[in-house]
Amino acid sequence: MSYLLALDEGTTSARAALYNRKGERVAMESFPIACAYPHPGWVEQDARQILQAQIDSARAVLARHRVEATDIAAIGITNQRETTVVWDRHTGEPVAPAIVWQCRRTADFCAELARDPRAAEITRKTGLVIDAYFSGSKLRWILESVAGVRARAKAGDLLFGTVDTWLIWNLTNGSDHVTDYSNASRTMLMDLATGQWDDELLKIFDIPRQMLPRIVSSSGIAGTAAAHHFGAEIPIAGIAGDQQAALAGQACFRAGLSKNTYGTGCFALLHTGEHAPAVSRHKLLGTRAAQTGPTAAFAVEGSVFVAGAAIQWLRDQMGVLSTAAESEGLAASLANNGGVYFVPAFVGMGAPYWDAGARGLITGLTAAAGRAHIVRATLEAICYQTRELIDAMEADSGEPLRELRVDGGAAVNNFLLQFQADILGRPIVRPADVETTALGAAYLAGMATGFFSGIGEVESFWRAERTFEPAMPEGKRSELFGEWKQAVAKAASKAFQDSAQK
């Protein structure tokens, strides 16, 4: 068998990629996935479309590149995390639209829970800040808000899963209802240290245990895709949430290694080894990294909700760009930002603020500002937000970051990465393959099946394509970052401002 098949189900597209024995991507195909926004702050998807787009992309990559299913050693799956699906175990039909990770419909419930005396214990157990971002409150909302669903769940007729679970259940024709530690750690229902669903958390969110999938290793055979999907049975041997998969794809399997992914959102992860990290003093998240053996693996994460999505907004909603790639040239055409700052708080702000009520704004406009200023301010905003994550990581750990490995679709933008190096004051390293999410899923499946010999071989595959060195004077760096912080303060909700003054 010559290839691994990675299924990479993201927020806006489902992709499938083939990898050879050298860890090289030889083909990739993609199908789009639509998002619906039925109310302000709500984000939904059709779980059936997610499934079909993922199957279609896999079939396309096999057909267009003339690869038989019998040539595939294993499948690795990676997915948008926290997105919540509930379906009937008998018919396979979803009972409601999938609630996407960005959705804020449960923000009021989470704000109330954060004031509860149990809030500190929830964070201690899960490593997570109480927020609508995570799956637990989304699942509770479906149980509370969709007619008849809670009774069906208590009767054992309904199943819950994040997108990995939904895909695997369908690919195995309902034989396997599983998730991995990395995805389970994003539900706010799992004890981070033990890796088990927690009875106290289930009681707080009022979730029937029988709905939940079995938690398995990220690298190990979790099921078998039925022959009718791709032409032959194929073992499913890798599972990881997209950001943990990207950490693996960057060969960050050891404590102290870090990466930042520039996708729909922006996610910086620092591998912390075999022990659960202490509760962050700067509102970062404790999470499970992809587990490749019997020993648990952990990471610290900072999450930015809107990064590449802001570029899409400029293109699709505002008509400022015809393509995302056009942003690089427009931004570089200016000597500076002209005092324009964009805070893309479309769905609140993530780390280190966790301000669900924050809203986006553009500040510093004058008659001299044009579309290039708006585009540049958008790219710069991604970099400012990333600096805030890294600053928080360094403050928590007490150790300076030596370099930051980067990946994701926006990592091809040279202006973005140079400005990131400048505003962070650290080298930014771009790998030869920036599609590290799919690559990480392939690595996990390959190590589980002997396609790769182990972590050592996978680490040997990593190659840097370019390093961006900081060139901005420290005084200018501090000035720009200070002005960014002023813009963020203007975007903050009144509730956040009031709490900050206490």
Q: Which residue from 300, 279, 288 is spatially nearest to 123, judged by alpha carbons? A: 279
The beta strand positions in 83-143, using DSSP E, are: 85-88, 98-99
- Tell me 388's DSSP state: H
Exposure string over 146-157, b if 16+ CB within 10 A, otherwise e: eeebbebbeeeb
Q: State the Cα–Cα distance between residues 187 and 416, nearest whole angstrom.
A: 32
Exposure string over 410-449, b if 16+ CB within 10 A, otherwise e: bbbbebbbbbbbbbbbbebbbbebbbbbbbbbbbbbbbbb
Q: State the Cα–Cα distance between residues 223 and 141, nearest whole angstrom.
A: 30
Give me the sign of the Cα torsion angle 480, 482, 486, 492: positive
Residue count (the chain): 502
Q: State the Cα–Cα distance between residues 344 and 244, nearest whole angstrom.
A: 24
* Other CB atoms within 10 A of residue 60 CB: 16
Q: Are 234 and 225 in contact (CB under 8 A)?
A: yes
Q: Which residue from 3, 26, 30, 25 is spatially nearest to 15, judged by alpha carbons? A: 30
* Other CB atoms within 10 A of residue 370 CB: 14
Token digits of residue 432? 């030869």
Helix extents (H) in 127-198? 135-145, 149-154, 163-171, 181-184
Q: Which residue from 253, 223, 218 is spatially nearest to 238, judged by alpha carbons? A: 218
The angle subtended at Cα 205 by Cα 104 and Cα 157, nearest 5°, is: 100
Angle between helices 47-64 and 163-171 (to 10 degrees): 60
Q: Which residue from 81, 102, 94 is spatially nearest to 52, judged by alpha carbons? A: 94
Q: Which residue from 206, 294, 169, 253 is spatially nearest to 458, judged by alpha carbons? A: 253
Q: State the Cα–Cα distance between residues 445 and 135, nearest whole angstrom.
A: 25
What pLDDT shows up at residue 502? 61
Token digits of residue 347? 């769905």
Q: What type of residue is 492?
A: A
Per-residue pLDDT of the chain (502 residues; tens, 9 = 90+): 699 999 999 998 999 999 999 999 999 999 999 999 999 889 999 999 999 999 999 999 999 999 999 999 999 999 999 999 999 999 999 999 999 998 999 999 999 999 999 999 999 999 999 999 999 999 999 999 999 999 999 999 999 999 999 999 999 999 999 999 999 999 999 999 999 999 999 999 999 999 999 999 999 999 999 999 999 999 999 999 999 999 999 999 988 888 999 988 888 998 988 888 888 888 899 999 999 989 999 999 998 888 888 999 999 999 999 999 999 999 999 999 999 999 999 988 888 888 888 999 999 999 999 999 999 999 999 999 999 999 998 888 777 888 899 998 889 999 999 999 999 999 999 998 888 999 999 999 999 999 999 999 999 999 999 999 999 999 999 999 999 999 999 999 887 887 776 6
Q: Are 408 and 261 in contact (CB under 8 A)?
A: yes
What pLDDT shows up at residue 435? 85
Look up the CATH number of domain 3-250: 3.30.420.40
Side-by-side strand order, sheet with 258-262: 285-288, 298-304, 266-273, 258-262, 404-407, 428-431, 464-468
Token digits of residue 370? 């044009």
Q: Which residues, other chains included, contact 115 with Cβ-Cβ below 8 Å and sequence gap of 6+?
A: none
Q: Which residue from 339, 236, 239 is spatially nearest to 289, judged by alpha carbons? A: 239
Q: State the Cα–Cα distance between residues 2 and 24, nearest whole angstrom.
A: 12
Alpha carbon distances (Å) from 276 to 114, 184, 255, 289, 295: 22, 15, 12, 10, 12
Q: Are 415 and 328 in contact (CB under 8 A)?
A: yes
Q: State the Cα–Cα distance between residues 2 and 207, nearest whole angstrom.
A: 43
Q: State the Cα–Cα distance between residues 177 and 167, nearest whole angstrom.
A: 10
Q: Which helix (H) or strand (E) holds 196?
A: strand 196-197
Structural domain boundaries in the chain: 3-250
Bridge partners of residue 355, in order along the sequence: 349
Q: Which residue from 62, 59, 75, 60 is spatially nearest to 6, judged by alpha carbons? A: 75
